[in-house]
Amino acid sequence: MSLLQFREATENDAQAVLNIVNLAYRTEGGWTTESHLVVGDRLVEEDYLAALNTPNTIIFLALEGDIIVGCIELKIADGHAHLGMLSVLPDRQNQGIASQLLAYAEQQAKQTYSAKIAEMLVLDVRQELLEFYYRKGYERADEYVPFPTDLNVGKPIDQNLMFEKVVKTL
């Protein structure tokens, strides 16, 4: 397992974060790819910069030395921590980085923002990702949300693509 440092993302990190997120979600390189389900970028610079300027939204970075190897977004609303965009460079996956990033974001949500519940949306057809989150203590919420075709997160190949909500008590 890698020894990581964590920090909040800034505008100067835009290209590195865009690269990590789009490589993780939209190329064939890693086990988190959605390229067979969704086409187009997962994250564009405009949305990244908007997230940085949104109250109660933080993007945390994982670094090995001075190299950004992963990220996760945390949004706080109504005492809940909404986690998303968990991404690790494909050639650095399966080394515990995602687990450490997730644990760090959960800890920050609980300690800094007094969040009681962590939740996230996972593509319902990505059983291996759902199982990853179950191993981290998340449970099914029996709630489903259609893939958002009105946002800049790519276009689903199957128009019936759904997200499943998973939750965890912090």
Per the domain annotation, does 11 fall within a domain? yes
The count of structural domains within the chain is 1
What pLDDT score was predicted for residue 160?
Answer: 82
Percentage of residues in the chain with pLDDT exceeding 90?
Answer: 72
Report the chain's mean pLDDT, rounded to a whole number. Answer: 90
Task: Specify the higher pLDDT residue, 125 or 104.
Answer: 104
In a domain, 73, yes or no: yes
In a domain, residue 34? The reply is yes
Max alpha carbon distance in the chain (Å)? 42
141's tokens: 């919420």
For residue 24, being part of any structural domain is answered with yes
Per-residue confidence (pLDDT) for residue 169, from 0 to 100: 98
Q: What is the pLDDT of residues 51-83, one digit of tens each?
A: 999 999 999 999 999 999 999 999 999 999 999
- Domain containing 54 — which CATH number? 3.40.630.30
For residue 36, name the pLDDT band (cuts at 50, 70, 90). confident
33 within some domain: yes
- Give residue 46's domain range: 5-120
The pLDDT value given to residue 26: 77
Residue 136 has pLDDT above 70, yes or no: yes
Query: Tell me, what amino acid is at 10?
Result: T
| The pLDDT value given to residue 154 | 67
Q: What is the mean pLDDT of residues 41-58?
A: 91
Structure confidence at residue 15 (pLDDT)? 97
Q: How many CB atoms lie within 10 A of CB 146?
A: 11
Residue 114: predicted pLDDT: 96
Rounded Cα gap, residues 18 and 42, in angstroms? 8
CA trace torsion 145, 126, 100, 3 (10° rounding) = -140
Residues 58 and 35: their CA atoms lie apart, in Å, by: 26
Contacts of 86 (CB under 8 A, 6+ apart): 70, 71, 72, 98, 101, 102, 120
Model-level pTM? 0.92
CA atoms within 13 A on the CB side of 118: 24
Helices (H), 44-159: 45-52, 97-113, 127-135
Give kind and range of the element (H or E) at residue 24: helix 14-26
Is 138 inside any structural domain? no
Examine residue 128 and state whether it is found in any structural domain, yes or no.
no
